[in-house]
Structure 1
Amino acid sequence: MSWRHLITNLNARKRLISAFKSGNIYLGTLERPIFPKIVSVKITDHSTQYTFSLPNGLNPDILKRNYFAILQHFGEHIRLEGEVKRYTLTIYSKSSTGDLAYDIEDIREQLTKLKLGIICGKDRTGAYVAFDLLKQPHILIAGETGSGKSTQLRSILTTLILAKKPSELKLYLGDCKKSEFHIFRKVEHVQCVLSSGRDIAEMLCHIKRELDERSDLTETFEVSHIDELPVEHRRPYLVVCIDEFVMLRKDETVMEILTEVVAIGRTLGVFAILSMQRPNAKVLDTTIRVNLTVSMGFKLRDKTEARIVNTPDAEKIEEPGRFVMNSDKLYDLQAPYLEMGDAKELLNPFMVSKGKTKPVTQDQEKLTEEDVFYDAIDAER
């Protein structure tokens, strides 16, 4: 260790001890304090990370009660993790915030070892964070208008399309706001882009039949996952993505099928990505919430919404594209920013000619008759 590095390390330790002292985070008296033991200090261009342990007999609650003292010394760009005795405090440099351009080559490198990779973004140390949808199925994305939620959806769907062949992945998209998914309409992987509640309900009924068929196959061949089926019976992964699905909350059929997808879809290769602007506890009932294994909370209105999404402090976010992710642990991330024009260019090789509608059910003729029936009612009104 060079003398400069040693001095920097000592100064960092003194700064943390000063924060402990200000917050009364010690045993004994001020004249003879026993401070938490600083186990290590790691300093990079993006952050300073302390690992420390509390002395035996010091109530861990004191860290929560006097957290303000740490904030006063280090500012708001920090994260404290740990429990009982050992903790990690990370102080991020402000320079680590800001836009992150979507770079397909960098992203491909992150996904090489993942079967169905989801690229999330970069943490404050500049490292990419990604996960495998097969291991952590089903995603909830929430955030106010302009927070970066829609761009994250565009990034996730584009990445899935670039990573998988149409024979390996099929996408079913519900666009309740009629504003987000039109660029995917002609992509070969995409089975449908629907906006009306009735059409989305019919699409989900098709997904329900697919779940039943896949479940029967796994039972027949006595396997625990569709990837273990004989080659001739393999099925592609299905991803159902519905933007602003809260608008479908009054349709019991829709909510029942979505609940079933997130409850049993993982082993059957069927996954859900659900997004909403205003999280609602009545819509996100216990069953759905428990099985949405990954939550991404962009800027939310208040603590209540952040708690519903299970992304603490998401209400404090100020920068667009920044979000809190809760999966195997909490992450503070910057989402990659994918321009609409750049997304179209990346998707262009996968575009195919499609008609106005694309059947997604075996009962298309019946559906057409129903459409005529409802059109007649609308005309009478």
Structure 2
Amino acid sequence: MHTSAHRIALPRWYNAPVGKPKSKRNASVSRGDLEALALVLFGTAFFLGVSVYPDPPLSGQVGAYLKAALWGNLGLLSWLFPIPFALAGTLILLKRPLRGLLRESLLTGLAGVSSLPLIAGVAPEWGGALGTWAHQALTTRLGPAGLLLAVLALSVVLDLALRHPPFTLVLTGFKRGIGAGLNLFRAYRAYRTARAQRARLRKAASSLAQEVQALLARYPDHRALATLQADLKAFLKNPDAFEPSELEGFRRLLDEFTEARAAELAERLAAENPGFSSRIQAWLGALNAPLSAHTPLMERLEERRKALILEFKAIQEKETRLARRAERAAEALRRSAAGLEAEWKAHEARLGEWRALEGLLEDLEARAESWTRWVEWAEQVGAERHAEALERLLEHGLEAAPPEAEEAAPPSPADPPAEATPPEPPVEEATAPPPSPNPAPRVSGGSGKTGSVSVHPTTTLSLPSPELLDPPEPKPANARDLQADAKQRAEIINETLSHFGLEARVVDWARGPTVTRFEVEPAPGEKISRIANLANDLARALAVGSVRVEAPIPGKSVIGLEVPNAERELVRFSEALHHPAFQRSRDKLPLILGKSIDGEMWVRDLAKMPHLLIAGSTGSGKSVCINTLLMSLLYRYLPTELRFLMIDPKMVELTPYDGIPHLVRGVVTNPADAAGVLLGAVAHMERRYKMMSQVGARNLEQFNAKMRELGEPTLPYLVIVIDELADLMITSPKEVEQAILRLAQMARATGMHLILATQRPSVDILTSLIKVNIPARIAFAVSSSHDSRTILDTTGAERLTGQGDMLFHQPGLAKPVRLQGPFLSDKEIHRITNYLRGQAFDDAFGEAYGADFDGPVQLGDPTGGKAGELDFSDPLLKKAAEIVVEEGQASVSRLQRRLSVGHARAGKLMDLLEAMGIVGPHQGSKPREVLITKEELPEYFGEP
């Protein structure tokens, strides 16, 4: 009897009771029995293995029959039969429970059976007869989809093996498959998107590279383009190394460059017109007077005159068409590389047309000059020689010289004795303008008689000719050297900023007449104040006097460093006068201020300012600026439309304008009289207000419109110019400041405007009240930042370089604008003023309102006479009486011109004539009546 220690606990299914329960002794199995059972199981597994696995079987005929039965029906599934027996024997020997073996064996068998149709689909002999039959049954009825049933059955068996609910693997696989599909789809879509974006970026970069290449062909000296081209090549070579935003930065840089070049091209287009109109108009005026056709020669010359007029008008029409094409091109200019290239070619083609047109004009002018020589010759010689000249003219044309044209003209008859005619005032040499480089002859026709050719100035009112000015300076020929110098300076600026630890670099520059502005782009987070504080260090590094910092440049995200040029470019007034900004200006009172760093010619309206304050130290260009402003108005308005009241205590700057018809009175040079003249201007302003209120007008334009409707005389604009305000403020500070304030506050509506200038920008001269009422200011170079604040309320003028370098500010500008004022020489001023002095007109305004500006008039001896006394000892009194009697009417303006005296003295002479009973009383704007005849003059002055 065995002890309990030798007993082994078997699984419940192994020793499950059958029938009646047995005793404990019978329930226990000895170890020997189990080992015997294990041996049986091993033997069975061995027999099945040697029968199934080898080929041929090693178990003899029985094994062969067994293999044929198993392999033929089950195929590869027969290989599983030895495994359960071997596992069962192993578990028994190892004293392990056999509870799960039957379940795993059953599930393995079911899995094998489920896979037989799938195996038979691959190789029928591997699936056996059962697999082949199942495969045929499923595919015959359901097609290839029937095999999914086998897969579904296999998944259910696997779920049972894994102790999962049925179809868990199918659902999980389905979900994961869908998820994997979605992930794959997303990855594919991201790949396609990235590929498309990369293609777009490549295409955009390629387009940018083509634009840069086209621009480089046109602008080979621009360093920014070469740098941008290198960056684009690197981008095209490896786009993954760049961010898409960098390509946007490339596009932005190219757009800024294109915009700047388009602005330059637009300026060239605006200046494309060489300005033939003045020459053509001069010749049309010269050819306007018809000739008296009293001989066949004169008839032919008259025909040639008409033909010349038609040719000049044809050239004028061509010029107009070309100018319109240039204007339309400037308006439709495309800001792109293709647009710039196309417009450059069109611009060059038009320049060729302009040159051809200029050649035609020069040829026509030569023939017109020859025509004038023929007319002069025909008028100098007798009619008996016209027949000979006509033959030459018909044979050779106008190109031929008149007969014996090289001989001197016969002397004119001697002038009659001086006593035979009433004495005339001497004509000063200064009344004739000096010869211009190409003077256009003036043909003045007589009253129905043969016209005569004359080069003397006309006595009628006309605007001065641009030919009286010096020609503009030629463009600098060393453009490449200037560009290289600017590039070198940009590198010095970058090195200096890097030396002081600032992350910033020069991205572009613009060269102006006086300074070059370098545009510095700071890195994100870099303070602007750090760069601004390095102005002196940058000046030292660049070896210049000063560097002005504009932080930031209005309208841009960069800082401007204004560095003086090594060679200053001279901007002449003639260049500004011909500039389209002035020629096409619709301002009421356009003032030429100067040329900006960007090359723009600044023209602003004095009527909108409405007053202007100019200040700067000696030699800074203040006086030249005043002359430029005055000439801007003199080239735009006749004396009937604009008048000046000039006060010049220094007796130097404005005295060249004394005697021009635009003055309402002579230039005031005595500071003691200036206060009275300004108070007289205030009285005239109040008089204008009364006149405007009577007709219901709110400003001068409305008043003049109503006067024109009524046929009454209009009022001109009046500009009051004071060259040195400091002298007046020292002499009569209270009266001068009071008058200036009244005018500054109220004169705008009446068409009266102030231009004040001083070289002492101190607070006692430029008081707060004056500055408040005169917001438009021009500052030239000053010695300190304190003076700059006094003028502009900000610093900057202390860093100007002088010689016309200015800062202009008016309401509406974010910051003062740096300009280079045009240069106007003294010779040019004298030529223009002499030309204007030679003009005469009936000064209705001076007659009616000239006394308003005389201030406290003191008739009689200005040194010792008393107020109200009449000084009949004036040496010009008799001459004045002869003039008014000869003309049959009397006016102050006529005496002023005939006697070459100022308005005040002419007015005194008129008062004397009225007191003597020679002329009648004042009749408003009408001339005075002459009360005596020429024969009665000796009764007043005695016999000559």
* Residue of 626, 636, 653 corresponding to 1:180: 653
* Residue of 596, 605, 613 corresponding to 1:132: 605
* Residue of 519, 541, 547 corresponding to 1:50: 519
Which residue of 2 is the match for residue 367 of structure 1? 857
- Residues 17-37 of structure 1, C-alpha deviation per residue, up to 9 Å, x if partnerless? 655544444xxxxxxxxx579
Q: Which structure: greater helix fraction?
A: 2
CA contact (8 A) 1:22 1:69 kept: no
Q: In 2 relative to 1, CA 219–135 (structure 1 residues): closer, same or farther, beyond 3 Å?
A: same
CA contact (8 A) 2:532 2:551 kept: no
User: Aligned pair 1:259/2:737, yes or no?
Assistant: no
Distance apart, 1:97 and its partner CA: 2.3
In 2, Cα distance between equivalents of 1:105 and 1:298: 19
* Residue of 683, 703, 706 corresponding to 1:229: 703
Alignment of 1:334-353 (within 5 A): 334-351=820-837, 352=839
Alignment of 1:71-110 (within 5 A): 71=539, 76-82=546-552, 86-91=557-562, 94=565, 97-103=568-574, 106-107=577-578, 109-110=580-581
Which residue of 1 is the match for residue 770 of structure 2? 288
Q: In 2 relative to 1, CA 341–228 (structure 1 residues): closer, same or farther, beyond 3 Å?
A: same
* Residue of 661, 669, 673 corresponding to 1:199: 673
Residue type of the alignment partner of 1:50: E
Alignment of 1:280-319 (within 5 A): 280-310=762-792, 312-319=795-802
Q: Secondary structure at the match of 1:258?
A: helix
Which residue of 2 is the match for residue 240 of structure 1? 720
- Residues 35-70 of structure 1, C-alpha deviation per residue, up to 9 Å, x if partnerless? 5799x64656874553747746x5554344445565
* Residue of 133, 136, 144 corresponding to 2:617: 144
In 2, Cα distance between equivalents of 1:98 and 1:225: 42
Q: Secondary structure at the match of 1:360?
A: helix
Which residue of 2 is the match for residue 30 of structure 1? none
In 2, Cα distance between equivalents of 1:175 and 1:78: 33
Using CA pairs under 8 Å that are at least 6 residues apart, name the structure with larger relative contact order, 1 or 2. Answer: 1
Distance apart, 1:8 and its partner CA: 5.3
Percent identical among aligned pairs is: 20
Q: In 2 relative to 1, CA 142–230 (structure 1 residues): closer, same or farther, beyond 3 Å?
A: closer
* Residue of 819, 824, 836 corresponding to 1:333: 819
CA contact (8 A) 1:51 1:86 kept: no
In 2, Cα distance between equivalents of 1:92 and 1:83: 15
CA contact (8 A) 1:226 1:268 kept: yes
Q: Secondary structure at the match of 1:167?
A: coil
CA contact (8 A) 1:141 1:295 kept: yes
CA contact (8 A) 2:780 2:802 kept: no
Q: Secondary structure at the match of 2:552?
A: strand
Q: In 2 relative to 1, CA 317–52 (structure 1 residues): closer, same or farther, beyond 3 Å?
A: closer
In 2, Cα distance between equivalents of 1:325 and 1:191: 29
Distance apart, 1:298 and its partner CA: 2.2
In 2, Cα distance between equivalents of 1:100 and 1:172: 28
CA contact (8 A) 2:612 2:778 kept: yes
Which residue of 2 is the match for residue 268 of structure 1? 750
Q: In 2 relative to 1, CA 289–268 (structure 1 residues): closer, same or farther, beyond 3 Å?
A: same
In 1, Cα distance between equivalents of 2:674 and 2:850: 10
In 2, Cα distance between equivalents of 1:283 and 1:159: 27
In 1, Cα distance between equivalents of 2:569 and 2:638: 33
Which residue of 1 is the match for residue 530 of structure 2? 62
Distance apart, 1:106 and its partner CA: 3.5
In 2, Cα distance between equivalents of 1:276 and 1:96: 29
- Scaled by the length of structure 1, the TM-score of the pair is 0.79
Q: In 2 relative to 1, CA 44–336 (structure 1 residues): closer, same or farther, beyond 3 Å?
A: closer
Q: Secondary structure at the match of 1:173?
A: strand
In 2, Cα distance between equivalents of 1:48 and 1:61: 18
Q: Secondary structure at the match of 1:361?
A: helix
Distance apart, 1:102 and its partner CA: 2.2
Distance apart, 1:96 and its partner CA: 6.3
Mean CA deviation greater in 113-122 or 303-312? 303-312
Mean CA deviation greater in 254-263 or 229-238? 229-238
In 2, Cα distance between equivalents of 1:139 and 1:366: 27
Q: Secondary structure at the match of 1:141?
A: strand
In 1, Cα distance between equivalents of 2:692 and 2:504: 53
Distance apart, 1:224 and its partner CA: 4.6
Q: Secondary structure at the match of 1:119?
A: strand
- Residues 191-217 of structure 1, C-alpha deviation per residue, up to 9 Å, x if partnerless? 121111232222212211222233345
In 2, Cα distance between equivalents of 1:22 and 1:174: 54
In 1, Cα distance between equivalents of 2:827 and 2:723: 20
CA contact (8 A) 1:80 1:89 kept: yes
Residue type of the alignment partner of 1:315: E
CA contact (8 A) 1:240 1:271 kept: yes
Which residue of 1 is the match for residue 72 of structure 2? none
CA contact (8 A) 1:92 1:124 kept: no
Q: In 2 relative to 1, CA 14–177 (structure 1 residues): closer, same or farther, beyond 3 Å?
A: closer
Residue type of the alignment partner of 1:332: R
Which residue of 1 is the match for residue 640 of structure 2? 167
In 2, Cα distance between equivalents of 1:229 and 1:102: 34
Q: In 2 relative to 1, CA 124–215 (structure 1 residues): closer, same or farther, beyond 3 Å?
A: same
Paired residues, what number? Answer: 363
CA contact (8 A) 2:725 2:765 kept: no
Distance apart, 1:126 and its partner CA: 3.5
Q: In 2 relative to 1, CA 217–79 (structure 1 residues): closer, same or farther, beyond 3 Å?
A: farther
Q: What CA RMSD, in Å, does the superposition of the two structures yield over aligned residues? A: 3.7
* Residue of 586, 590, 615 corresponding to 1:117: 590
CA contact (8 A) 2:677 2:854 kept: no
CA contact (8 A) 1:77 1:94 kept: no
CA contact (8 A) 1:170 1:239 kept: yes
Q: Secondary structure at the match of 2:645?
A: strand
In 2, Cα distance between equivalents of 1:236 and 1:23: 60
In 1, Cα distance between equivalents of 2:534 and 2:669: 49
CA contact (8 A) 2:591 2:629 kept: yes
Higher Cα Rg, which structure: 2
In 2, Cα distance between equivalents of 1:278 and 1:71: 28
In 1, Cα distance between equivalents of 2:517 and 2:782: 28
In 2, Cα distance between equivalents of 1:290 and 1:178: 29
Q: Which structure: greater strand fraction?
A: 1
In 1, Cα distance between equivalents of 2:569 and 2:693: 49
- Scaled by the length of structure 2, the TM-score of the pair is 0.35
CA contact (8 A) 1:79 1:90 kept: yes
Which residue of 1 is the match for residue 686 of structure 2? 212
Mean CA deviation greater in 136-145 or 163-172? 136-145
Residue type of the alignment partner of 1:188: P
CA contact (8 A) 1:142 1:297 kept: yes
Residue type of the alignment partner of 1:100: V
